[in-house]
Every structure is written in C-alpha cells, then in structure tokens.
Amino acid sequence: MESMKEVCIPEAPACWESCGNCTTGELLVSEVNVAPGDTVARDDTLIVVETNKISLDIPSPYSGTVVEVLVKPGSFVKERDVIVRIEPTKAGA
C-alpha cells in the first residue's frame, strides 16, 4: 500500500514576480471540486484559485482517493500550502 500524498499549491510562474500585477502571494480559493472519499484521476481539477487577474485550476498529480481537503471556498492559500491529501491508486489496480 502506497503512503498518502500531499498536494500543494505550486510555485508561481516567474512572470508573476517580474510584472508584479498578478498576485500578492496569496490566492483566493474560488472553488473546491472534491470531497473526502472522492476518486480522482491524474490531472482532474481539485480546486480553482484566483488572483486579481486570472483563475487557475490546480490539478491532481495523482490518481487515487481523496482522504482530506484542507481548504474551502473563500479561504486564501499561498505557494507550497497543502490543499488535499490523496491515497494513490495502487499500480496495476
């Protein structure tokens, strides 16, 4: 059995810091598309975050079962914050 995996907010693209117009370091969680017990596939959208200019889908890097969701709509997150814990699907399962 594989161990539980944590999904984090990825690092912001370098362009965000060069122009300084897209984000202040915190992102607003506008949607949470999963709940504990849900089965997800790799690249399924877990949450949607917004900066003052754009919305970004945060995809799952794993296939498996959602164990815990650590954010809710209206909360703020920043780079490297853990948002979801997933129990990965066994290889070949």
Instruction: Give me the sheet containing 27-32, strands edge to edge.
Output: 55-59, 45-50, 27-32, 76-77
pLDDT score for 69:
98
pLDDT score for 1:
46
pLDDT score for 54:
84
Long-range contacts of 52-58 (CB under 8 A, 24+ apart): 52/21, 52/22, 52/23, 52/24, 53/21, 53/22, 54/22, 55/30, 56/27, 58/7, 58/9, 58/10, 58/83
Count how many Cα atoms sit within 13 Å of the Cα of residue 8 in the half-sphere of its side chain.
7
Q: For the chain of 93 residues, list the mean pLDDT of each consecutive stretch of 10.
A: 85 59 73 98 96 88 97 94 94 54
The whole-model pTM stands at: 0.83
Q: Which domains does the chain have, with CATH numbers?
A: 5-88 (2.40.50.100)
